[in-house]
Amino acid sequence: MLEPATLADARALADAAAALTADAVARCADLTGGGERIDEHQVIVDRVAYAATEARAASALCDAAEAAPADAYLTQLAIAGVAELARMCRDRLDPVAHDLGMAEVPYAHVKDALLRAGAEANVRALGRHVADTAGKNVWPLDATLAEVRASVRQFADKEVAPRAEHIHRHDELVPDAIIDAMGELGYFGLSIPEAYGGHELGNLAMILTTEELSRASLACGGSLITRPEILAKALLAGGTEAQKQAWLPRLATGEVMVAISVTEPDVGSDVASLRCRATRATVDGKAGWVIDGAKAWCTFAGRANVIAVLARTDPDLSRGAKGLSLFIVDKPRFDGHAFAAAQAHGGRLEGKADRTPGYRGMHSFTLAFESWFVPEDQLVGEAGGVGKGFYLQMAGFAAGRLQTGGRACGLSQAALEHTASYVASRAQFGEPIIRFPLTQYHLGRMAHRLAAARAITYAAATAMDADERRAAPLAAQAKLFACDVAVEVTQLGQLLHGGWGYAEEYAISRYVVDAQVLPIFEGVKPILALKVVARALLQPG
């Protein structure tokens, strides 16, 4: 008979996973010359980066549980969640342990803790609790943040959730009523400094807002904040004072809706090879730039009033990322799936949305720019911003990735709640299906996987508040981990719905297709693991 597991077991396991992955990271750094030769060892590096991310999530989950010792549910989430994460780290590294020269059998010293914490009965108990409480999110927060979460939840339940299914099924555009209300409530300015018209409540408030909106709808709720967030952070990192004064207050109120345009039809992950050109020009006596070229997958480009376009200002392709600059490009708004705009001097911009199985409500466009004029003062950083676009875009993406961690948690939360209700009401073989141990186990896993995703995302948000640049790798880890969890949790939820989980009438079918996009954008998963997370982990110092 095993003794009951305690939080001390979870901490011992989190520490063991941290030590194991720290050793793997150090060996991997040696193997790759401090990250210089990642591409020669991609499979090993990917496994090490992912295991280190799981270990980081385990530590964050323990930290959260230890900070709220009276919260018995969070303690149980941490015990079961950390045990699974510790096992996952070990199993992920096992196939490459020989390549890394790791001879020791890991976890010998925490064998008993792993047996106690990793007992399947712990996960089933969690599942029963989740079903009894309808999966409600009661993560402990201080009074101010709890108030933020409660008020956004009320708004999202009332205004967003009732429209979400219709918008998804008919592939409609998110209604202005939602955007206007979000603007009035200040949701677009949560992490913009007060000096520029924002509310400066910090990244955790922004994440909680995103989570609650995404719980109601990924596309016509939580994702609306992502684009302004990316542009705001790029402006704060490298905009001139006049640009900050001009744009940030309008982003904070939602007056200006933004699209972000990096990807091109032939260039995705290899951003340094972008080809869309910006050339100096004077149009109607005004100095500026004209943009020519194709872009792809530009979400919200129709409805947006401005597109943040990363374009090549140095025609010498060998300059790579150093030849790119970031522009704030004005355009008229359009509500449909295709548009064409013209400027008096002959500039043209055309867009056509690519149909997608999920993430509907904002529409993602292929764009064609032809001599499209942008005034000089809309190059971020103006003269000083020439050639800095890549760096500024990446500063924006660090914030975008954190925000996407929040989107993933919100979507997972929606799947958890819907599944908890379903398994309590659906009966087979004469019993509600939650009475079956395997159902309890799956539901319990959904809950502790989400808890780990939430813990690392909140840890990243808090770290970003302290130092955005240093916290960028952690934000990338949060995005990497939470997005995978969203895919896993929504699919588990669908499984527990049986055939009805495949029916459009049940929201879980939408959650599944929505979640699948999360590991793709803002750095597709293999690139995020290799080029962002691993690079940060492996570089010296």
Ligand X SMILES: Cc1cc2nc3c(=O)[nH]c(=O)nc-3n(C[C@H](O)[C@H](O)[C@H](O)COP(=O)(O)OP(=O)(O)OC[C@H]3O[C@@H](n4cnc5c(N)ncnc54)[C@H](O)[C@@H]3O)c2cc1C
Handedness of CA 458, 142, 209, 423 (dihedral sign): positive
Which one of 261, 439, 440, 509 is in contact with ligand X (CB under 6 A)? 261
Does residue 45 bind ligand X (CB under 6 A)?
no
Does residue 297 bind ligand X (CB under 6 A)?
yes
Least Cβ distance, residue 520 to ligand X (angstroms)? 5
Which one of 521, 528, 532, 533 is in contact with ligand X (CB under 6 A)? 521
Closest chain position to ligand X (CB): 268
Catalytic residues: 522
Among residues 269 and 462, whose Cβ is nearest to ligand X?
Answer: 269
Which one of 48, 298, 311, 487 is in contact with ligand X (CB under 6 A)? 298
Which one of 38, 262, 399, 461 is in contact with ligand X (CB under 6 A)? 262
Does residue 529 bind ligand X (CB under 6 A)?
no
- How many residues bind ligand X (CB under 6 A)? The answer is 20
What is the rounded (10 degree) CA torsion for 489, 492, 496, 498? 120
Which one of 136, 503, 520, 539 is in contact with ligand X (CB under 6 A)? 520
Does residue 43 bind ligand X (CB under 6 A)?
no
CB 128 within 8 A of CB 437: no
Does residue 276 bind ligand X (CB under 6 A)?
no
Stretch of residues binding ligand X (CB under 6 A), selected from 26-34, 193-201, 291-299, 339-347: 291-299
Least Cβ distance, residue 377 to ligand X (angstroms)? 23
Least Cβ distance, residue 354 to ligand X (angstroms)? 8
Task: Decide: residue 115, CB within 10 A, 0-12 exposed, 13-18 middle, 19+ buried.
Answer: middle
Least Cβ distance, residue 297 to ligand X (angstroms)? 3
Report the distance separating Cα 120 and Cα 130, nearest Å. 15
CB 62 within 8 A of CB 436: no
Coil, strand, or helix at residue 145? helix
* DSSP 8-class letter at 513: H
Report the distance separating Cα 106 and Cα 12, nearest Å. 13
Task: Decide: residue 42, CB within 10 A, 0-12 exposed, 13-18 middle, 19+ buried.
Answer: middle
Which one of 21, 122, 223, 299 is in contact with ligand X (CB under 6 A)? 299
Stretch of residues binding ligand X (CB under 6 A), selected from 101-109, 217-225, 236-244, 255-263: 255-263
Report the distance separating Cα 180 and Cα 188, nearest Å. 10
Which one of 6, 133, 240, 269 is in contact with ligand X (CB under 6 A)? 269
**Can you name the residues that pair with 311 across neighbouring β-strands?**
325
Q: DSSP letter string over 18-48?
A: HHHHHHHHHHHHHHTTTTTTGGGGHHHHHHH
Does residue 12 bind ligand X (CB under 6 A)?
no
CB 479 within 8 A of CB 522: yes
Q: Which residues bind ligand X (CB under 6 A)?
A: 42, 260-263, 268-269, 297-299, 356, 359, 364, 517, 520-521, 524, 526-527, 530
